[in-house]
A and B are shown apart, each in its own frame.
Chain A
Amino acid sequence: MEKYFRFSILSIITTYLLIFFGGLVRVSGAGMGCPDWPKCFGRWIPPTNINQVPEIYVEKFNIVLAWVEYINRLFGAVVGFVILLSCLFAYLYFKKNKDVFFPMLAALILTLVQGWLGSVLVHSVLNPITITFHLLLALIIIGLIIYSAIRAYTVIKGNSEVNSNYPKKVKWLIFSIMICMVIEIIIGTEIRGALDMSRKDNPLIEGAILLKMLGSFKYVHTVLGIFLISITYILRNVLINLELSCSRLMLFSVNSMFVIFFLQILSGEFLVFFDVRPVIQLFHMWFSSLLIGLCVVQYTCFKISKA
């Protein structure tokens, strides 16, 4: 059982690293680094010089981008394998516990779908809607694994929420954070996609200027972000006032959420007011995936406190 818990934690960590790497592929423009899928320029090991590239692909060869994209695929395969093992252990130790086994099984199936979606991405030459789906699916997968891991922990170490007693408004606060966050992420990917489109139509113009040219939905992103950090602050105050009837995990996740929201606002405003730096874009995206994870932690804590 412990083994399953360890593997589920390993799945969470590697999946988060993979989300980071996927974002890195996007911001470094390596999405089409390999023009084919699953092979790269017709090879299982990407070419190291232009002579190895088949003639039909010659203009597309960029050694850096090819390897960045290919390492993402390889790492994706490794993570898929870790999730497969986790699912196997879940089956061995938790097959009767549907709160542990089924989320992990769903995560495994969705991971396979995610790999397939990766191939669709390449064949559609990075269709923006498919990119968004690729990210959203990753967030669903990480959510499922986190839920399963906490559930398994509860079985192994006892319910950490046994003394918790959350008032109804905690539930509503958690739900509103969750819903607003999903909307916020979708608007964020829209801004990102619109920026890419406008960069194509206005080559050689700086990102910050293009961002200013975008429609008013970018303000919705800022306003909703401030709203989200405010609700998180309220939730935090409610929980602190509960004192002992709030678990440490719950309080930790809300505190972390508050800190990360703060970092999100900082990085977001940096992008708007200074420069559309790829590294900042990358962390802005990755932090939002951490926030989704924390949201799932809170939801799970609340749920098992009722059990």
Chain B
Amino acid sequence: MNKTSIISFFILIVFLGIGSSWVINKANESNSIPPPIMKKIPDFNLMNYDGKPFSRDSLLNKISVIDFIFTSCPGPCPIMSKNMKELYNQYKLHPDLQFISISVDPDYDQLDVLNAYADANGVVDKRWKFLRGKMKDIKNLSTNGFLFMSENLPAGHSVKFVLLDSNANIRQYYDGTDKASISILRKHLNIFLKNMNLKS
């Protein structure tokens, strides 16, 4: 009630202000470090659902989020595609970011099936690709490219989302069915997109 308590209150405010600014700064710094390079993926030859070929070169100069799914999958795929769709919609202003879903059941997932799947997920532009190819190529890409267990495809595919940088390097894996993990992915995407904007 007296002068000392008022002064000590203001000292407290200054102290809290400096302390919290320091913490916020540290947090921002730690949030702007991109995940490190894990490995470069090998070259591959697949086909996009519009019939055009898609290889490792198609990943260059773009940030990519990749997952493995199949359209008739009853289990985790609908959740993964729902989460992918949410990201696809949230980043509609960023053409430098592409989403890629690779079918692990190419026998069933012919181009027309993938087209229908894209429509069902509200895909209206080229930012989200659906790829198919020879089963052996897909298995090879999944096993040697992404280091996934690929013994029991299609049912035993991974539920991870993989973040690739503009040089086709794997940066980080995320759980495509877990909201908390995807919010980290969003944070990392923002770092890469920001850096890309700065360069251009």
Residues of A within 8 A of B (CB): 20, 24, 27-30, 32, 35, 56, 58-60, 62-65, 68, 125, 200-204, 248-249, 252, 278-279, 282-283
B197 at the interface (CB under 8 A from A): yes
When C-beta atoms are compared, the residue in chain B nearest to A61 turns out to be B184
Q: Are B179 and A63 in contact (CB under 8 A)?
A: no
List the A side residues contacting B29 at CB < 8 Å: 64
Q: Distance in Å from the Cβ of B18 to the closest Cβ of chain A?
A: 10
Q: Are B24 and A203 in contact (CB under 8 A)?
A: no
List the B side residues contacting A248 at CB < 8 Å: 1
B75 at the interface (CB under 8 A from A): no
With A125-B183, A202-B93 known, 12 other A-B pairs at CB within 8 A are A24-B20, A30-B27, A58-B173, A59-B181, A59-B185, A60-B184, A62-B30, A64-B30, A200-B186, A279-B17, A279-B21, A279-B24
Mark contacts of B1-35 with chain A using CB atoms, 8 A cut-off: 1 yes-contact digit, 0 otherwise. Answer: 10000000000010011001101101111110001
A203 touching B27 in the complex, CB below 8 Å, given contacts A20-B20, A60-B184: no
CA distance A32 to B24 in the complex (A): 15
List the B side residues contacting A278 at CB < 8 Å: 24
Q: Are A279 and B20 in contact (CB under 8 A)?
A: yes
Q: Distance in Å from the Cβ of A51 to the closest Cβ of chain B?
A: 14
The CB with the most chain A CB atoms within 10 A, among B30, B185, B193, is that of: B30
List the B side residues contacting A68 at CB < 8 Å: 23, 27
A35 touching B180 in the complex, CB below 8 Å, given contacts A20-B16, A203-B186, A204-B193: yes
Residues of B within 8 A of A (CB): 1, 13, 16-17, 20-21, 23-24, 26-31, 35, 89-91, 93-94, 172-175, 179-181, 183-186, 189-190, 193-194, 197
Interchain CB contact (< 8 A) of A62 among B13, B24, B31, B173 = B31
List the B side residues contacting A27 at CB < 8 Å: 20, 24
CA distance A59 to B29 in the complex (A): 17
Q: Are B27 and A64 in contact (CB under 8 A)?
A: yes
Q: Distance in Å from the Cβ of A287 to the closest Cβ of chain B?
A: 10
Between-chain CB contacts (< 8 Å), 21 pairs: A24-B20, A27-B20, A27-B24, A28-B26, A29-B27, A32-B180, A59-B181, A59-B184, A60-B180, A64-B30, A65-B31, A68-B27, A200-B186, A202-B90, A202-B93, A203-B90, A203-B91, A203-B94, A204-B190, A278-B24, A282-B20
CA distance A63 to B31 in the complex (A): 10
CA distance A64 to B28 in the complex (A): 9
CA distance A28 to B31 in the complex (A): 10
Nearest 6 CB-CB pairings of A with B: A28-B27, A64-B30, A125-B179, A125-B180, A278-B24, A28-B24
CA distance A119 to B103 in the complex (A): 38
Q: Are B30 and A65 in contact (CB under 8 A)?
A: yes
List the A side residues contacting B172 at CB < 8 Å: 59
When C-beta atoms are compared, the residue in chain B nearest to A280 turns out to be B17
Q: Distance in Å from the Cβ of A214 to the closest Cβ of chain B?
A: 17
Q: Distance in Å from the Cβ of B161 to the closest Cβ of chain A?
A: 10
Interchain CB contact (< 8 A) of A203 among B28, B180, B189 = B189
Q: Are B27 and A252 in contact (CB under 8 A)?
A: no
CA distance A65 to B23 in the complex (A): 9
The CB with the most chain A CB atoms within 10 A, among B23, B179, B181, B190, is that of: B23
Q: Distance in Å from the Cβ of B199 to the closest Cβ of chain A?
A: 14
CA distance A202 to B20 in the complex (A): 26
List the B side residues contacting A30 at CB < 8 Å: 27
List the B side residues contacting A29 at CB < 8 Å: 27, 31
Q: Are A252 and B1 in contact (CB under 8 A)?
A: yes
When C-beta atoms are compared, the residue in chain B nearest to A23 turns out to be B20
When C-beta atoms are compared, the residue in chain B nearest to A282 turns out to be B20
CA distance A58 to B184 in the complex (A): 11
Q: Are B174 and A64 in contact (CB under 8 A)?
A: no
List the B side residues contacting A283 at CB < 8 Å: 13, 17
CA distance A249 to B172 in the complex (A): 58
Q: Are A24 and B24 in contact (CB under 8 A)?
A: yes
The CB with the most chain B CB atoms within 10 A, among A58, A201, A204, is that of: A204
CA distance A159 to B64 in the complex (A): 70
CA distance A202 to B175 in the complex (A): 22
List the B side residues contacting A201 at CB < 8 Å: 89-90
